[in-house]
Amino acid sequence: MIGGELSRCLRFGLACVAVGLGWAGPAAATWVRAVDLPGLLAASDLIVAGRAGTTVWADSTTTDVESFAITVDRVLKGSGDAKISVQLDVSDPGSAAVGEGRYGLFFLRLPAAGQPYVAADPAHPMLAASAGWAERPVAAVADPAGAVAEALVGALVDPALLPAGPAVAADAAGRDSYDRYAYEEIVEALRGLTAETIEAPLLNVLASGPTGARFWAANCLLSVSGEADVDDIQPHVLAALVPLLLDPDPRLAFTVSMLGHAMRVNLRSPRDVAALTTLLRSHDVVMRRTAASALSDIPTREAISALGHIALSDDDRDVRYFAVLGLAVGTGAGNAIAKRLYEQDEPAMTAFWRGWVAANLK
């Protein structure tokens, strides 16, 4: 347990620093090994949806081995009883314990007949899921990957997933207050599946889910790998996002920051310029930085115009820096410089580019 809890604390601390800077991204969650969902699907002898029971530790002096039983609601792969005994060795850094009462998908393997199940991946013994999803009557699971995807997407929108307790804000719709790494982990896992498997359920969330869930769904859709039609999804996703991101709820700061990273990495097409230009006027500074950064990598006249006429006059230094960087790269009229050098001589560089914009962009 010590290793698992330490890793989660470090993830939280690093992410808090990144969010404070307005630039949370993958570096905010590098301590725990990334979720390899295809690997989990292949390595698991048994995948179940259910709830973890009371934890029993190996003895009173150590928290290295956690034993509990899962009350099973649905079997997604393999076969098992209504209660499954599990034993987790959480002594190694990066391994994770499972809290009492946690509901989710458990990915398990059987070391030998007659022994308790163990985690297929000690870093990710379970992923959050929705009890409501598991309770729906369904036919036998013929496609474990599709069933897992459906369960994970359902977790993004189900308020019942939120645990009770004074430490949890009553913001079921926003989803930013409960173990937000559960949602980061869900999206990370879904990215490992094909677009064909996850596109439809995520688009449904994007269309009608709670705002925070829509942001996480968009995060995944913008960065999913696989089929060529992914590029055709991005304009639709961006169009749905823009109205929500012009003045996002401050309680969703972490979620917006993570979405911003996905946008910066994946939006590179000239057809994204109009939406990104609109986001340069967002009330949220992280979104304005996101839009300016993405536009700085799109060397079209429209992008250059947006950077010169809007971003270059922003109140935020980072937004202005991306404007200068994009203008330099896109026009060739100046040198692309590191942010450190820009900050050392910002007034002169900003004045130069404002003069260039006035003379060359009408």
Proportion of the chain above pLDDT 90, given as a percent:
42
| Mean pLDDT (whole number) for 226-230 | 50
Q: How far is it, in rounded angstroms, from Cα 41 to Cα 113?
A: 20
The three state secondary structure string of the chain is: CHHHHHHHHHHHHHHHHHHHHCCCCHHHHCCCCCCCHHHHHHHCCEEEEEEECCCEEEECCEEEEEEEEEEEEEEEECCCCCEEEEEEECCCCCCCCCCCCCEEEEEEECCCCCCCEEECCCCCCEEECCHHHHHCCCCCCCCHHHHHHHHHHHHHHCHHHCCCCCCCCCCCCCCCCCCHHHHHHHHHHHCCCCHHHHHHHHHHHHHHCCHHHHHHHHHHHHHCCCCCCHHHHHHHHHHHHHHHHCCCCHHHHHHHHHHHHHHHHHCCCHHHHHHHHHHCCCCCHHHHHHHHHHHCCCCCHHHHHHHHHCHHHCCCHHHHHHHHHHHHHHHCCCCCCCHHHHHHCHHHHHHHHHHHHHHHCC
What Å distances lie between residue 308 and 30, 75, 113, 243, 270, CA to CA?
Answer: 36, 56, 68, 23, 17
Residues 309-344: tens digit of each pLDDT:
999 999 999 999 999 999 998 888 877 788 888 888
**Cα Rg of the chain, angstroms:** 23
What is the residue whose two structure tokens read 């404007």?
Answer: 323
Count of C-beta atoms within a 10 Å radius of residue 321: 25
| Max avg pLDDT among 15-24, 29-38, 182-191, 199-208 | 199-208
Instruction: Indicate if the pLDDT at residue 59 is higher than 60.
Output: no
Higher pLDDT, 339 or 241: 241
Residue 297 — pLDDT band, cuts 50, 70, 90?
very high
What is the residue whose two structure tokens read 């639709």?
Answer: 236
Higher pLDDT, 180 or 44: 44
Residue 165 — pLDDT band, cuts 50, 70, 90?
very low
Higher pLDDT, 225 or 131: 131
| Mean pLDDT (whole number) for 83-109 | 86
Per the DSSP assignment, residues forming a β-bridge with 72 are 50
Residues 172-198: tens digit of each pLDDT:
444 444 456 778 888 889 988 888 888
Residue 61 — pLDDT band, cuts 50, 70, 90?
low
Instruction: Indicate if the pLDDT at residue 22 is higher than 80.
Output: no
- Out of 1-5, 49-53, 94-98, 302-306, pick the least confident: 1-5
Q: Is 100 within 8 Å of 67 (Cβ atoms)?
A: no
In terms of pTM, does the model score above 0.85?
Answer: no
